[in-house]
Amino acid sequence: MGCQISQMTDFHSVEAAEFRLAMRNLASGVAIVATGTETTRRGLTVSSVTSLCMDPPCLLVGVNSSSETHAAILANGRFGVSLLGRGQEDLALRFAGGIKGLERFATAPWEQGVLDVPLLEPAIGALECVLHHHQVVGTHGLFIGRIVATRGGNGDPLVNFQGALRALPQA
């Protein structure tokens, strides 16, 4: 009883500005998705990470198809997700802004995980994934990663809400 594609074409999408305004009210966690080693490290800030299923453990992350990180994840077949916390706003902005490539990694301590992917040492949590599936939808690639390692941490999570980065106190 799924949705038929022909039925969906009868409706027009909302404008991007309207969609962006509506989504400002959805608080989402902020993370850095990264891949590569040494001089081939690439990464970017995302607020589109979600758990997908528990068996096998998978997550879903959206990455702009035009980013260098998108191509690097496809080439490497693995990626790390470092969950950001209070006090890491500058790092989130660094990985979201005009600084590119390896230079993004210069101001914080990083380690290579069991999959040899970059993980932020002071992250409040980290997950390592092998690429299970990739699908392009519009301007973004959706990466489904099968989680093969995790690391916990402490701290208040960083969230994106109404266009601002905010720390959410722990319960």
pLDDT per position as a tens digit, 15-49? 988 988 888 888 899 999 999 999 999 999 999 99
- Mean pLDDT across 127-132: 98
Q: Name residue 131's beta-bridge partners.
A: 145
* CA–CA separation, 63 and 76 (whole Å): 15
For the chain, what is the largest distance between any 2 Cα atoms, rounded to a whole number of angstroms?
A: 51
Q: List 160's β-bridge partners, or say none.
A: 28, 165
Low-confidence winner among 40-44, 75-79, 163-167 (lowest mean pLDDT): 163-167
- pTM for the complete prediction? 0.91
pLDDT tens digits, residue range 80-113? 999 999 999 999 999 998 899 999 999 999 999 9
Which is more confidently placed, 1 or 20?
Answer: 20
If one compares 98 and 162, the residue with the highest pLDDT of the two is 162
3-class SS at 117?
Answer: coil
